[in-house]
Amino acid sequence: MVILVYLEYRRGNIAGSSLQVLAKAYELSREGRHEVCAAVIGRDVQQAASQLTGLPITKAYLYEADDLFSADLYSEIFTRCIAKLSPSVVLIGGTKEGKSLSSRTAAMLKTGVTVDCTDVRLRGRDELVQIRPAYGGNVIAQIVTEKQRPQIAVLTDSIMPPVKRSSMLSPATVLSREYASAASAVKLIERRELPKVKRISSYDVIVAAGRGVKRKEDLVMLEALARKLGGGLGATRGLVERGWMPHARQIGLSGHSIRVKLLIACGLSGTVQFMAGVRRADCVIAVNSDESAGIFQWADYGFCGDLQVLLPMLLEKMENPA
Ligand SMILES: Cc1cc2nc3c(=O)[nH]c(=O)nc-3n(C[C@H](O)[C@H](O)[C@H](O)COP(=O)(O)OP(=O)(O)OC[C@H]3O[C@@H](n4cnc5c(N)ncnc54)[C@H](O)[C@@H]3O)c2cc1C
């Protein structure tokens, strides 16, 4: 059985999120000696071949196309690749590009797609069980595409650590360097650089703020704590809805997934929807004024009290440890 992974390729680099998806594909492949193949679409895509060294891919299909992702063009190319390879399983990272590509591709192939999968596993000969929260996160659904193939799953960020390169693996065979003849209906008029913002999922340490933060100015204190620890500031949906934090910083079911060494949860209750975004946290510290708050069930260390009192004390202690 073939598992095809879409490797996002921008400005000469394979995206970190794709390497997480590849790690999952590799894990699945080892269960039944399945073959992992990859598709890469982008500009100067031949250069991607050198980046495949040491990755657990047997065959890679490279397609030259404009660097600007266009859903119609990319999904047409990707559909062609799938038609050529007939994979049973297609795995894609849950970025904006991945979600857009997956839905169009699934529609063109008249097959199913499950987005926001928090896990996938194989059952029987080639059935992919696609696991994701449903009904507002209150249910963990197991979804299967019974008859149609391929089975397309879009995986959430941080599903696995990125795949490790190994010198023991034979290099991928770059089978095809087809150049896309398909044309996009989207015409590029102007290209503008957006300021680079570090993704919340890229931090090892996160201070997460919830509705217990009563004034927007208090976020400065939490940001300071995050910075001191070399981390970033995240938030629950409650604060994003207030307009105090951008959606890019929202952790959870309808936000972003994180995989951290340390999570400091400040004034948040630990709802299932928030915790659905916490893929792994080696250590959770919770600060909450309500001793029955759900977050304490997840916490390794819990501080019951007002964060407006506790956090300045903690910051002061960090400044002057003696
Ligand atoms: C389909 C769907 C998707 C959703 N997706 C997400 C998502 O992606 N992410 C997300 O976060 N939510 C999501 N939600 C919303 C979620 O259900 C909760 O509303 C949200 O997580 C609550 O955020 P909170 O913990 O900040 O607020 P609350 O649940 O109100 O908790 C606030 C906490 O602060 C404590 N507190 C109050 N004052 C203080 C103080 N002075 N000091 C210390 N502690 C204090 C309180 O005791 C309380 O525990 C989703 C909901 C739905 C239906």
Q: Peptide bond preceding 150: is omega within 30 degrees of 0, i.e. cis?
A: yes
C-beta separation of 266 from 208 below 8 A = yes
CA 89, chain centre distance (Å): 18
Q: Is 238 in the pocket of ligand 1 (CB under 6 A)?
A: yes
Angle, helix 96-109 to helix 71-85, in steps of 10 degrees = 60
Q: Give the separation between CA 27 and CA 193, rounded to whole angstroms.
A: 36
Q: Is 95 in the pocket of ligand 1 (CB under 6 A)?
A: no
Q: Is 261 in the pocket of ligand 1 (CB under 6 A)?
A: no
CATH 3.40.50.1220 domain range(s) in the chain: 200-319
**Location of structure tokens 């999570």:** 263
| Per-residue model confidence (pLDDT) at position 31 | 85
Q: What is the 273 CA–ligand 1 centroid distance (Å)?
A: 9
**Location of structure tokens 């510290």:** 285
Distances from the Cα of 120 to the Cαs of 73, 103, 132, 226, in angstroms?
28, 18, 9, 32
Q: Is 288 in the pocket of ligand 1 (CB under 6 A)?
A: yes
**Probe ligand 1: pick from 271, 296, 298, 310, max atoms within 8 Å of CB?**
271
C-beta separation of 19 from 162 below 8 A = yes
State pTM to two decimals: 0.79
C-beta separation of 80 from 96 below 8 A = no
Q: Is 253 in the pocket of ligand 1 (CB under 6 A)?
A: yes
Protein residue with least CA distance to atom 28, ligand 1: 269
Q: Which of 285, 308, 295, 148 is nearest to 217 (CA)?
A: 308
C-beta separation of 152 from 92 below 8 A = yes
Q: What is the 270 CA–ligand 1 centroid distance (Å)?
A: 7
Amino acid at residue number 130:
Q
C-beta separation of 64 from 94 below 8 A = no
Q: What is the 66 CA–ligand 1 centroid distance (Å)?
A: 42
Protein residue with least CA distance to atom 8, ligand 1: 252
Q: What is the 136 CA–ligand 1 centroid distance (Å)?
A: 14
Q: Closest ligand 1 atom to the C-alpha of 252?
A: 8
Q: Which of 79, 71, 122, 72 is nearest to 99 (CA)?
A: 71
Q: Is 282 in the pocket of ligand 1 (CB under 6 A)?
A: no
Q: Judge residue 204's burial from the number of C-beta atoms within 10 Å of its C-beta, 0-12 exposed, 13-18 middle, 19 or more buried.
A: middle
Name the CATH topology of 200-319.
Rossmann fold (3.40.50)
Q: Give the separation between CA 175 and CA 81, rounded to whole angstroms.
A: 11
Structure token pair of residue 61: 């299909």
Amino acid at residue number 306:
D
Amino acid at residue number 197:
V
46 DSSP 8-state letter: G
Beta bridge partners of 311: none
| Per-residue model confidence (pLDDT) at position 180 | 60
Cβ neighbours around 301 below 10 Å, total: 11
Q: What is the 209 CA–ligand 1 centroid distance (Å)?
A: 9
| Per-residue model confidence (pLDDT) at position 306 | 96
Angle, helix 219-228 to helix 307-319, in steps of 10 degrees = 30
Q: Is 73 in the pocket of ligand 1 (CB under 6 A)?
A: no
Q: In the chain, which residue ranges form alpha helices assigned H by DSSP?
A: 16-32, 48-51, 71-85, 96-109, 219-228, 237-241, 272-275, 295-298, 307-319
Protein residue with least CA distance to atom 48, ligand 1: 269
Q: CATH class for domain 2-176?
A: alpha beta
Distances from the Cα of 122 to the Cαs of 29, 38, 91, 127, 239, in angstroms?
9, 19, 13, 6, 38
Q: Closest ligand 1 atom to the C-alpha of 253?
A: 8
CATH 3.40.50.620 domain range(s) in the chain: 2-176
| Per-residue model confidence (pLDDT) at position 168 | 80
In sequence order, what DSSP letters do the residues of 290-315 get, joined into one string? -TT-THHHH-SEEEES-HHHHHHHHH
Protein residue with least CA distance to atom 29, ligand 1: 269
| Per-residue model confidence (pLDDT) at position 181 | 60
Q: Is 56 in the pocket of ligand 1 (CB under 6 A)?
A: no
**Probe ligand 1: pick from 116, 237, 239, 279, max atoms within 8 Å of CB?**
237
Digits of tens for pLDDT over the chain (322 positions)?
Answer: 999 999 999 888 999 899 999 999 999 999 888 999 999 999 888 888 888 989 999 999 999 887 788 888 999 999 999 999 999 999 999 998 999 999 999 999 999 999 999 999 999 889 999 999 888 778 889 999 999 999 999 998 878 889 988 888 777 788 767 666 666 777 778 878 777 778 899 999 999 999 999 999 999 999 999 999 999 999 999 999 999 999 999 999 889 999 999 999 999 999 999 998 998 999 999 999 999 999 999 999 999 999 999 999 888 888 887 7
